A and B are shown apart, each in its own frame.
Chain A
Amino acid sequence: MEELARIKLTPKERKLYVNQLSLVLDYVNKLQEVDVEGVEPTGHASESKNVMRDDDVIDCAKDEVERILDNAPEMKDSLFKVKSVFEKK
């Protein structure tokens, strides 16, 4: 789960979470007693429908662009810098 969630835990936290999450899962398991035969799932609280807009380019103000870039942890030539995604074997 840690790797799927991309979160590194300490051994102590791992033990704590296992205990706490089993309690929570025991609690939510009460849903198993509800008869859901033929019931449609609800994904959203409002009656959702697709909302479309024209596929136009909307300009971003210069100060906003600067602020976006300023928020990045690491940059190179106005691009976000990250470790290589594919590693050499």
Chain B
Amino acid sequence: MDLNKLTIQEANEGLRNGNFSSVELLKACLESVKANEKKIGAFLNMTENEALEQAQAADEKIAGGEELGLIEGIPIAIKDNMLHKGHIVTAGSKILEDYNSVYDATAVRKLKEAGAVIIGQTNLDEFAMGTSTENSAFKKTKNPWNIKCVPGGSSGGSAAAVSADMCFAALGSDTGGSVRQPASFCGVTGLKPTYGRVSRYGLIAMASSLDQIGTIAKNVQDAAWMLRAIEGIDEMDSTSVNVEPVAAEFPEDIKGIKIGVPKEFFGAGLDSGVREKVEFAIKKFEGLGAEIRELELKHAEYALAVYYIIMPSEVSSNMARYDGVRYGKREKGKNLLEVYMNTRGKNLGEEVRRRIILGTHTLSSGYYDAYYGRAQKVRTIIRNEYINAFKEVDCIVGPTAPTTAFKLGEMVDDPLAMYLSDIYTVSANVAGLPGLSIPCGFHEGMPVGLQIMGNYFDENTILRVGNALQATTEYYKEKPEL
């Protein structure tokens, strides 16, 4: 039996029954890393020594007859933009190449407290800016389903690692789709919680009003178990919220659940193969007794434009901290201004600099009202449109991304085309809603993702609906040939 191919739930049961140990689970994952990492390139840093200690601690607990937590003793990866005390965390950027984390991000600390075994830190687009993981300063991650294709991004390393069974689950961060889109491309499950459910403390900031840590796992239940470990209010993040934890189990029955299907999510730009699989999933929901309702979201088409003003604006201000003074690389210059300009010019990558310059422009005094001010108002309109929609339906479904995984290098010279990959996912960030991507079939051998969006803090409904589809289709059980 390949232990690394189990789900968290199966592994948890096996640990409780003494069928295998946490150290054995870890070794099985490390075997997969050893065999496939050269080809896939999912990790930037392996933390196997610490992982071994964590696995041994879990095994001692089991031997002592103590109650085992849901993710205790389970090998998990974290995205390399979350602080991991005592380890180099780069955010995929040259400017942080030698940055040694001073403390643990709250989500990472909570994983440790839950007894998880942290095996390593995964590759990402530099500072999480991208949709293909090609913007990493260190390496390109490949899609385990076809190594000529990208894994999606920015949490591409996390999604590829889970897809290739190098770990049982991983943390990602989602600012415009960075958990859901790579999950869709790699045939795994990605959950972006409601803004505020998970603390952002220690997450290297990209766009603070949009960023949210999410979970990438092999199925819906595992994604929920991961979220249970990391959610909750945190005094270090004033936007975190005190709410009921998500459920650990979901009823398979979805009779009477009202599912909204916005026609705006099926317009031009949607690949016909993706459309077919998503429509098939909607038929399945109907067969399971859900009530399908067509929905009009008139302003959905503006969400991406709102995003591409608000996000770079916040990026330009968040990235001001990389000045070569307190941490990170520093370049020489004849005065302080030159030091700043050289440091940032040389050590920030092409996409990061592009977004800072765009954001500096949209926030500059002559343009603030026309761009940033207007985008914030359209954001209100979009948010209200969703609030009203959720008075009519329990959740909203559509494709996660307009296409399946594209080829490496295909879009690097065309940023706007690359940005369009987030067209269906950004709404959830703009409005602050939870979103789930689950596999709903294959098109020409590549996984297709279905997105289920829910009302504020109602992750339970989208998980329940996703779980019901997963139970009848079992696409999550399909594995790439490595």
A residues near B, CB below 8 A?
Answer: 1-9, 13, 17, 20-21, 23-25, 27-32, 34, 36, 39-46, 48, 50-51, 53, 64, 67-68, 70-74, 80, 82-85, 87
Which of B99, B364, B431 sits near A45, CB closer than 8 Å?
B431
From known contacts A6-B337, A34-B302, A71-B99, infer whether A24 and B379 are also in contact, taking CB-CB under 8 Å: no
- Once the chains bind, are B357 and A31 in contact (CB under 8 Å)? no
- Once the chains bind, are B374 and A31 in contact (CB under 8 Å)? yes
Q: Which residues of A contact B99 (CB under 8 A)?
A: 71
Which of B327, B341, B381 sits near A72, CB closer than 8 Å?
B327
Could you say which of B305, B323, B415 has the most chain A C-beta atoms within 10 Å of its C-beta?
B305
Q: Which residues of A contact B431 (CB under 8 A)?
A: 45
Q: Is B361 an interface residue (CB 8 A)?
A: yes
A46 to B239, CA, bound (A): 7
Q: Can you list, as one digit per residue, whether each of B334-354 has a CB less than 8 Å from chain A (1) or not (0)?
A: 011101111011101010011
Q: Which residues of B contact A30 (CB under 8 A)?
A: 301-302, 305
Q: Which residues of B contact A27 (CB under 8 A)?
A: 304-305, 308, 416
Chain A residue nearest in CB terms to B196: A46
Chain A residue nearest in CB terms to B237: A51
Q: Is B168 an interface residue (CB 8 A)?
A: no
- Once the chains bind, are A80 and B325 in contact (CB under 8 Å)? yes
Q: How far is the CB of B423 from chain A (nearest CB, A)?
A: 11
- Once the chains bind, are A5 and B357 in contact (CB under 8 Å)? yes
Q: Count B interface residues, CB 8 Å.
A: 72
* Interface pairs (24), CB distance under 8 Å: A5-B357, A7-B348, A8-B344, A13-B350, A21-B358, A23-B415, A24-B358, A27-B305, A28-B305, A28-B371, A31-B305, A39-B380, A41-B380, A43-B209, A43-B376, A64-B103, A67-B102, A68-B327, A73-B328, A83-B335, A83-B336, A84-B336, A85-B336, A87-B335
Query: Between A and B, how many residue pairs show CB distances below 8 Å?
Result: 167
Q: Is B195 an interface residue (CB 8 A)?
A: yes
- Once the chains bind, are A9 and B353 in contact (CB under 8 Å)? yes
Q: How far is the CB of B97 from chain A (nearest CB, A)?
A: 12
Q: Can you list, as one digit per residue, whether each of B297-318 has a CB less than 8 Å from chain A (1) or not (0)?
A: 0010110111011000000100
Q: Which residues of B contact A70 (CB under 8 A)?
A: 100
A39 to B302, CA, bound (A): 15
- Once the chains bind, are A8 and B335 in contact (CB under 8 Å)? no
- Once the chains bind, are B364 and A4 in contact (CB under 8 Å)? yes
- Once the chains bind, are B330 and A9 in contact (CB under 8 Å)? no
Q: Is B378 an interface residue (CB 8 A)?
A: yes
- Once the chains bind, are B357 and A83 in contact (CB under 8 Å)? no
Q: Is B377 an interface residue (CB 8 A)?
A: yes
From known contacts A80-B326, A83-B336, A84-B336, infer whether A21 and B354 are also in contact, taking CB-CB under 8 Å: yes
Chain A residue nearest in CB terms to B358: A21
In the A-B complex, the 8 residue pairs with the smallest Cβ-Cβ separation, listed nearest first, are A45-B432, A8-B345, A41-B376, A73-B330, A51-B238, A45-B195, A36-B377, A8-B341
- Once the chains bind, are A21 and B195 in contact (CB under 8 Å)? no
CB under 8 Å from chain A, chain B span 87-116: 98-103
A50 to B239, CA, bound (A): 9
- Once the chains bind, are A36 and B381 in contact (CB under 8 Å)? yes
Q: How far is the CB of A32 from chain B (nearest CB, A)?
A: 7
Q: Which residues of A contact B138 (CB under 8 A)?
A: none
Q: How far is the CB of B95 from chain A (nearest CB, A)?
A: 11
A74 to B328, CA, bound (A): 10
Q: How far is the CB of B259 from chain A (nearest CB, A)?
A: 23
Which of A2, A23, A45 sits near B210, CB closer than 8 Å?
A45
Which of A5, A9, A28, A64 sits near B316, CB closer than 8 Å?
A5
Q: Is B333 an interface residue (CB 8 A)?
A: yes
Q: How far is the CB of A17 from chain B (nearest CB, A)?
A: 6
